[in-house]
Amino acid sequence: MTYFSPRLFPDDASIIHVGEGLLARTLPRELWTHEAHLAACLWIVRDRPEIDAERDMRGIISSYNVAVGGVNDEAQGYHETITQVYVAAVRAHLRDVGGTPLYKAVNALLLSPRGRRELPLAHYSRELLFSVEARLGFVEPDLRPLIEV
């Protein structure tokens, strides 16, 4: 697997901008990166208690994808299992970092194993993770339990 050096966030405002842009479906598509996904997720889990990330991220991300010209189907767009893996990783990370400032918590996540692009493949075989079943609904891992996230 290839390790990509993540783009870090300089301050809380840059993360809030991404999160609010996601929710409003106004974030420019080119800014919707892996780092933006994780930053928005952490912000939502930590600072938006009215949003149930496990339940609501499907609708949030799917509607954002459509708003910026994307498609959510069996081959592209929203992926339920990958999203749930990262929501679990974000929750575990937040338990570890406590009251750290938002941008420091996000950057620490991005630099940790929990923030890596290949995290889901530590728990799922490629075949299962990229199956239609896993894209459209959550499937349990076939390699390692998610409690180890």
- What confidence tens digit (pLDDT) does each residue in 49-103 have? 999 999 999 999 999 999 999 999 999 999 999 999 999 999 999 999 989 999 9
Report the percent of the chain where pLDDT is more than 90: 93
At 74 the pLDDT is: 97
At 2 the pLDDT is: 56
pLDDT at 29 over 60: yes
Q: For residue 32, what is the DSSP state?
A: -
Averaged pLDDT score across all residues of the chain = 96
Q: Mean of the pLDDT values across residues 19-37?
A: 98
Strand, coil or helix: 31: helix
What angle in degrees, to the nearest 10, is found between the helix axes of 34-47 and 80-97?
Answer: 60
Position 3 confidence tier, pLDDT thresholds 50, 70, 90: low
Report the percent of the chain where pLDDT is more than 70: 98
What is the identity of the amino acid at 29?
R
Strand, coil or helix: 10: coil
Residue by residue, DSSP assigns 100-141 as --HHHHHHHHHHSGGGSTTGGGGTS-HHHHTSHHHHHS----
At 98 the pLDDT is: 85
Tokens 């990166």 appear where? 33
Cα dihedral sign, 96-101-104-110: positive
With a CB cutoff of 8 Å and minimum separation 6, the contacts of 116 are 3
With a CB cutoff of 8 Å and minimum separation 6, the contacts of 38 are 86, 90, 106, 109, 110, 115
Q: Mean of the pLDDT values across residues 21-27?
A: 98
At 148 the pLDDT is: 74
